[in-house]
Every structure is written in structure tokens, then in C-alpha cells.
């Protein structure tokens, strides 16, 4: 049995597709993470939804349509919490896979494990505590937990949050049990999936054919998974693979989404067809991001070529405003580390990435939804207090370590913001 925490498009186009295409009869139970209608809609569709795999692979067009039937049960954590607690305490459950985006991998206080706590990590902690109390130190308690959020060492990070919640609630013996019976697997996922709703199927999704899932030192899990795919692999060291993917593919999105929205564009493919936007993206990737990565230069350049081909996929309804969701946490992972490494390497701020960061601030200056309410309130308060320097001085939004070494950043961002407000294309061209 597999428990999937998250009903969003990504996991439905990734894990659920892997199980469907393999013909697996493994029970797959999915749970929502937030208060919403996703589970209600899934049930209304009898747990089925359309999936279009369309794209370019090596210059060849790929087009396949299917109805995914992998999900066997859907639970609402706020209405079906007792059912989820029962599932969590079953020895048949062997794997939990999650996706709460980067925003979910942060600490939030949760008062109790029952009823369903609000924070994502607290939900995981509460379910594991239930398993601990019901199954104890038996082989039936053995479990893998695989968080697919794009956070470095995501398994280790979720484990830390789970232990912190458990300690907050009181849990004698739980840390030792967790060490002995639960493996949190660091991993990296890579597939572009987007929503493609229709009147008949509000859950329909589209994705590229490409799929890659690297699981660190987890050959036993790869062997257990009820699916076979050449892109699902165990690797000895995830860090270089993760940095390449997060900085090039996800960082590439960050270089497009904010500047593209300011330019009035709506889709990733539109930005790739725009000569100024594409040239800006290629500069950021090849001149500012690639030099911060370890590895063979030819292989890294080929990876960027693949990323650009995937971005240019004309079949994906990959909207910029969809990528924009929870962007505050994303820039801390996708932009700032490359900026810091660029400064360490060259002694100067990267003009392209700095402009992309400025575009993010411009978009968030008046943003009132699509991110944590507290985060958005802090941005509005900081802007009202003055300008960029006040935003960067908010140590909740930007801990000192996140901006370490970025001397002159506030002034550079002010200049870029002024340019973007005047002429987006000219500002992007000047940043190359």
C-alpha cells in the first residue's frame, strides 16, 4: 500500500502515472493537504482523470492520451482523519510519498496531533506517531517516506520537522523507533506537469514524456516499487544531480516567470519564442548558473540544451502564473544560492539573476494571494515602510545567511526595478 500526501497535478502526473502505466494493482490512497475541494472533485470523477503526454524528445514529437486509474481511494484530512490514522497504522502501508512544495518544508507550530493539524510536516508526524503507538517495534512498522519537495536533502529535512513536532507533543521512545523503522529518502524528481482542465474533466493534466526520479542510496525501494521505468534510479550522491536540476530547470523557470509576467506573457513556451526573453534566459543559464556547478562542462551544456527543448514544448499548457505559486520559498532555493556562488566565484553580482530577483520583487509588491498569507503581509508592510532595503532587512523573509556576501544587492535591485518599470525588454537586454 502507498499513501500519497498531496492531490496536486505534479504527483498525479508523476507517481500516479508510473503506477498506471505499469498496470500496478498496488493500493494507492491519496490525501489532500489543505482545506479545499480536491478530494471532493476526485471522488466525483470516480478517482479518474485524463492525462496527455505531449512534447518533444530529441526533436521527435510525442503524443499520447490516457485515463489514469491508479488511485484507489481519496481522503480529506479534515473529514477523514480517523481513516488516515487507520491507514497509517496498517502494516500493509510500506511507502508514503508527499508533495507540499517548498513552502511545506518549513517549521510551523501545531498544537496537537489530533484532529488533523494544519502544517504539512505536522500531519506526517501525527500519522507516524499513530503508527508508532499501534505497531511498535515490529517488522510490520517498516516504512519508507519520500518527500518530493524541491528542497536539498528533502528526506533529512522532513525527518527533522517530524521529530521537532513529536518532541513538541511529547513522544517517549518515538525518535528511537523512527531511526529503526522509518527511512526518509532524499530524492529528486524531474518532470514538467501542468493542469489542463476541461468542462468535462476539471482534473485533467498534461505532461512532457520525460521523467526522472533519483533516490539516494535506495536500491531496495527502487526494487520494491510496483513499476519499472528507466528514469527511476538509485544514486550514491544526489547533491550534484539536485543542484543541476534545481538551478537550471527550476532556476530557469524563475528567470522566466517574473520577467515574462511583467512583459505580459502567459506561458513558458511563449517566453521561449520571444527573442529577448529567450536570450535573457540563455544568458542566465550559460553565463551565470552553469559556472557555479561542478561537473563536465560539455555535459552541463547538453543538459541546458535539453532544458531549453523541454521549455519550448508547444503542447504543454505551462502557465507562468501556475509556476508563480509560493514563489517566496522558491527564490530561496532556485535563485539565491546561484547568486551567492556567482559572487564567490567572480566577486560581483550576476546581472541576469539580479534582474530576475528584481522582477520577483516587482510581482510580489502588490501580490495578495498565491503564497502564505503571513509572507504576503510582510512584503506589503516592508514595501509600505520604504523600499527594497526594507524588504531585504526583514529577517523573517530574508535571514541573514540567505543574503550573505551579496554586497550592494539593494542598490542593484532598485536600479533593476526602475528599469523593469520603464522598459522590460531593454532592461533584460542590458542584463546580458
DSSP one-letter string for 356-414 = HHHHHHHHHTT--SSS-HHHHHHHHHHHHHSSHHHHHH-TTTS-GGGGTT-TTHHHHHH
Query: How confident is the model at residue 55, as a pLDDT?
Result: 85
Query: How confident is the model at residue 412, as a pLDDT?
Result: 97
Report which secondary-structure segment, H or E, holds 307: helix 297-311
Query: How confident is the model at residue 129, as a pLDDT?
Result: 97
Q: Omega before 115 cis (within 30°)?
A: yes
- The count of C-alpha atoms lying within 13 angstroms of the C-alpha of 354, restricted to the half-sphere facing its C-beta, is 28
Query: How confident is the model at residue 318, as a pLDDT?
Result: 84
Query: How confident is the model at residue 312, as a pLDDT?
Result: 87
Query: How confident is the model at residue 410, as a pLDDT?
Result: 97
Question: DSSP label at 102?
Answer: G
| Contact assessment for residue 13 and residue 207, using Cβ atoms and an 8 Å cutoff | yes
Per-residue cell: 305: 540544451
| Contact assessment for residue 372 and residue 397, using Cβ atoms and an 8 Å cutoff | no
Number of residues that this document lists for the chain: 432
Query: How confident is the model at residue 12, as a pLDDT?
Result: 98
Query: How confident is the model at residue 120, as a pLDDT?
Result: 95
Measured CA to CA, the distance from residue 357 to residue 405 in angstroms comes to 16
Q: Cβ atoms within 10 A of the Cβ of 299, count?
A: 9
Query: How confident is the model at residue 358, as a pLDDT?
Result: 98
At the topology level, CATH places domain 239-430 in 1.10.1040
Question: Sheet of 182-184: strands edge to edge?
Answer: 73-75, 28-31, 2-5, 95-98, 143-147, 182-184
Query: How confident is the model at residue 72, as a pLDDT?
Result: 98
CATH number attached to the domain at 2-235: 3.40.50.720
* Phi and psi based region of residue 408 (left: phi greater than 0; alpha: psi -120 to 50; beta: remaining): left
Backbone angles phi, psi at 271, to 5 degrees: -65, -35
Beta-sheet pairing, 212-216 with 205-207: unpaired
CB burial readout 43-65, b (16+ within 10 A) else e: eebebebbbbbbbbeeeeeeeee
* Phi and psi based region of residue 212 (left: phi greater than 0; alpha: psi -120 to 50; beta: remaining): beta
Per-residue cell: 252: 530557469
Each residue's pLDDT, cut to its tens digit, for the chain (432 residues) gives 999 999 999 999 999 999 999 999 999 999 999 888 899 999 999 999 999 999 877 677 888 999 999 999 999 999 999 999 999 999 999 999 999 988 889 999 998 898 999 999 999 999 999 999 999 999 999 999 999 998 889 999 999 999 999 999 998 999 999 999 999 999 999 999 988 889 899 999 999 999 999 999 999 999 999 998 999 999 999 999 999 999 999 999 999 999 999 999 999 999 999 999 999 999 999 999 999 999 899 999 999 999 998 898 888 778 999 899 999 999 999 999 999 999 999 999 999 999 999 999 999 998 999 999 999 999 999 999 988 999 999 999 999 999 999 999 999 999 999 999 999 999 999 998
Per-residue cell: 294: 561542478
Query: How confident is the model at residue 102, as a pLDDT?
Result: 80
Alpha carbon dihedral 197, 199, 202, 208, in 10-degree steps, equals -30
Domain boundaries, given as residue ranges, for the chain? 2-235, 239-430
Query: How confident is the model at residue 101, as a pLDDT?
Result: 81
Q: Cβ atoms within 10 A of the Cβ of 404, count?
A: 12
> Residue with C-alpha cell 560539455?
298
Amino acid at each position: 500500500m502507498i499513501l500519497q500526501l498531496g492531490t496536486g497535478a505534479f504527483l498525479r502526473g508523476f507517481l500516479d502515472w508510473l503506477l498506471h502505466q505499469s498496470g500496478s494493482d498496488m493500493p494507492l490512497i491519496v490525501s489532500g493537504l489543505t482545506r479545499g475541494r480536491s478530494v471532493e472533485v476526485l471522488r466525483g470523477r470516480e478517482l479518474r482523470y485524463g492525462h496527455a503526454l505531449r512534447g518533444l524528445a530529441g526533436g521527435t514529437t510525442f503524443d499520447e492520451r490516457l485515463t489514469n486509474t491508479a488511485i484507489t481511494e481519496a481522503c480529506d484530512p479534515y473529514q477523514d482523519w480517523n481513516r488516515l490514522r487507520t491507514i497509517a497504522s496498517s502494516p500493509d502501508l510500506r511507502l508514503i510519498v508527499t508533495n507540499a512544495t517548498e513552502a511545506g518544508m518549513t517549521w510551523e507550530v501545531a498544537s496537537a496531533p489530533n484532529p488533523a493539524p494544519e502544517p504539512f510536516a505536522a500531519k506526517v508526524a501525527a500519522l507516524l506517531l499513530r503508527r508508532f503507538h499501534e505497531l511498535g517495534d515490529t517488522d510490520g512498522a517498516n516504512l519508507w517516506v519520500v518527500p518530493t519537495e524541491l528542497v536539498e536533502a528533502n528526506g533529512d529535512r522532513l525527518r527533522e520537522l517530524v521529530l521537532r513536532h513529536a518532541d513538541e507533543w511529547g513522544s517517549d521512545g518515538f525518535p528511537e523507533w523512527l531511526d529503526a523503522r522509518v527511512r526518509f529518502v532524499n530524492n529528486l524528481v524531474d518532470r514538467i506537469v501542468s493542469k489542463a482542465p476541461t468542462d468535462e474533466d476539471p482534473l485533467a493534466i498534461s505532461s512532457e514524456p520525460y521523467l526522472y526520479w533519483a533516490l539516494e542510496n535506495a536500491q531496495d525501494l527502487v526494487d520494491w516499487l510496483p513499476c519499472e521505468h528507466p528514469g527511476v534510479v538509485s544514486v550514491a550522491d544526489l547533491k550534484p544531480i539536485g543542484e543541476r536540476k534545481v538551478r537550471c530547470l527550476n532556476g530557469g523557470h524563475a528567470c522566466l516567470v517574473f520577467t515574462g509576467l511583467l512583459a505580459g506573457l502567459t506561458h513558458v513556451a511563449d517566453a521561449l519564442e520571444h527573442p529577448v526573453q529567450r536570450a535573457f534566459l540563455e544568458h542566465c543559464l550559460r553565463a551565470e548558473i552553469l559556472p557555479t556547478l561542478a561537473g563536465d562542462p560539455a555535459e552541463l551544456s547538453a543538459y541546458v540544451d535539453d532544458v531549453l527543448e523541454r521549455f519550448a514544448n508547444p503542447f504543454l499548457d505551462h502557465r507562468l502564473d501556475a509556476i508563480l505559486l509560493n514563489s517566496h520559498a522558491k527564490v530561496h532555493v532556485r535563485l539565491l544560492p546561484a547568486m551567492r556562488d556567482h559572487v564567490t566565484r567572480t566577486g560581483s553580482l550576476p546581472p541576469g539573476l539580479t534582474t530576475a530577483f528584481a522582477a520577483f520583487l516587482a510581482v510580489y509588491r502588490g501580490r495578495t494571494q498565491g503564497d502564505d498569507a503571513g509572507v504576503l503581509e510582510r512584503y506589503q508592510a516592508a514595501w509600505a515602510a520604504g523600499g527594497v532595503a526594507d524588504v531585504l532587512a526583514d529577517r523573517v523573509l530574508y535571514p541573514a545567511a540567505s543574503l550573505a556576501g551579496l554586497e550592494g544587492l539593494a542598490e542593484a535591485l532598485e536600479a533593476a526595478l526602475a528599469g523593469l518599470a520603464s522598459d522590460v525588454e531593454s532592461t533584460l537586454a542590458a542584463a546580458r
